[in-house]
Amino acid sequence: MIARILHAGLLAGVTCAWVAPPAIADAPAGSTGAGETHGILFEIRPPTGAPPSFLFGTIHSEDVRVVDLPAPVREAFDASPNVALEVVPDAAAIIRAMITMAFTDGRLLRDVLPADLYLETAAALGDIGMPEEAFKDLKPWAVVTLLSSPPSETGEFLDMLLYRRAIADGKRVEGLETMTEQLAVFDALPETDQITLLRETLASREHLPRLFEALIAAYAERDVEALQQLSERHLADTDPRLAALFQTVVIDSRNHRMVERMAPLLAEGGWFVAIGALHLPGKQGVIELLRRLDYQVTVAF
């Protein structure tokens, strides 16, 4: 299940990508802090006295319960002249992603996978409408993201919706990371680990619809504690080494990087920052890291 969590959190941006009062440092690991188990939108007031900004936790979904933004979120977005996303999903980023997902050394997927795994993979991709010509040169981790994503009908995922609205409204748009930085988390995995993730994904595919529904239901209720528990529960079912790697590389280190890059934006004020919701809670979460820098962070919705 790590494959689904990785995809949701990173490209949500969920990577699932999921907040806490000043006392969070005393809370148990993984806790969102007393009184803040619900909330996906937060007001941020910098210590400089600049105008407030907003921090919005997202999930990579096109479900109507996700993309039909609640009034407080719409109002915060509309009132913000600037929008920051994990990565700007423009044409250049999409082209970079396509290049990174494919082998460029002449090898094909069938050359890397054991014969039985390749046949199983080809059948699974065929089930979602992908002929061999479309996936023959993809890397194993790229196949994992395809197989562990919810089926798309509109392509209007929440993060893309926010980007398109920001552009249409003439807002300034910035990315907290580059597509290269995000995909490096996957691309740097040894092929043996990529193959392990692919096997786990294939073995768990029948359970993914239930996981998607549970994630979306928790998100619709703004229950960040439930979102985090779902993530932890499914991480517990995978290779412990890869689960630890996920927490360190995909969540913790990126939280620090995003906060560092948010700082000059928040100092200006007037930003609507949207990142995967899993990046928000915990002792190394974005909320707590901002509070350590003397930002006032309060639940807005």
The predicted structure's pLDDT at residue 22: 24
Please report whether residue 294 resides in a domain: yes
Please report whether residue 113 resides in a domain: no
Domain extent at residue 58: 2-102+139-299
Residue with tokens 């193959």: 195
The predicted structure's pLDDT at residue 4: 37
Residues of the chain with confidence (pLDDT) below 70: 1-37
Please report whether residue 213 resides in a domain: yes
Phi-psi region of 165 (alpha: psi -120 to 50; beta: other; left: phi over 0): alpha
Q: How many domains does the chain have?
A: 1
The predicted structure's pLDDT at residue 271: 98
Tens of pLDDT, residue by residue over 19-69, are 222 222 223 333 344 346 689 999 999 999 999 999 999 999 999 999 999
Q: Is 141 exposed, middle or buried (0-12, 13-18, 19+ CB in 10 A)?
A: buried
**Considering the entire predicted model, what is its pTM?**
0.87
Please report whether residue 44 resides in a domain: yes
The predicted structure's pLDDT at residue 36: 60
Please report whether residue 209 resides in a domain: yes
Please report whether residue 124 resides in a domain: no
The predicted structure's pLDDT at residue 31: 39
Please report whether residue 125 resides in a domain: no
Please report whether residue 170 resides in a domain: yes
